[in-house]
Amino acid sequence: MSTEKVVLGVVAGLATGALLGVLFAPDKGVRTRKRMIREGEMITDDMTEKIMDILDTITDKFNDVKKDVTDFAEKARATGKTIEKEVKAEKV
């Protein structure tokens, strides 16, 4: 299962639980609405933090792959130059 699906499921579960908990609470309407707003802000903050963590992970992996590709290209270029020198030396 992908990380995005897990995070989405967790966020949806948290939002649903918070909404049901607030709606079924025996408080007055004003207090319930304030609590819903507060819970919504907390969920938004949590979701933002999780998304930023995922983006950081993706960025780190992208940079690792970019470095690996660059290293591979440099090694291939160096190997190509070495082979070219050997071929020129054999022709002489």
Q: Which of 1, 3, 11 is nearest to 55 (CA)?
A: 3
Count how many domains the chain has. 1
Structure tokens at 42: 């907390």
Cα 41 to chain centroid distance, Å, stands at: 21
Which band of pLDDT confidence, cut at 50, 70 and 90, is reported for residue 61? very high
Domain of 30, in residue numbers: 3-91
Cα 89 to chain centroid distance, Å, stands at: 51
Task: Give the span between the Cα atoms of 8 and 19, in whole angstroms.
Answer: 16
Which band of pLDDT confidence, cut at 50, 70 and 90, is reported for residue 91? confident
Q: What pLDDT score was predicted for residue 10?
A: 85
Residue in this structure with the two tokens 């992970």, named with its chain if needed? 57
pLDDT tens digits, 6-52: 888 888 888 888 778 777 777 677 777 787 789 889 988 988 998 99
Q: What pLDDT score was predicted for residue 34?
A: 83
φ and ψ of 24, to 5 deg? -95, 5
Q: What pLDDT score was predicted for residue 88?
A: 82
- What is the SS3 assignment for 92? coil
Mean pLDDT of 51-62: 93
> What would you measure as the largest C-alpha separation in the chain, in angstroms?
95
pLDDT tens digits, 64-86: 999 999 999 999 999 988 888 88
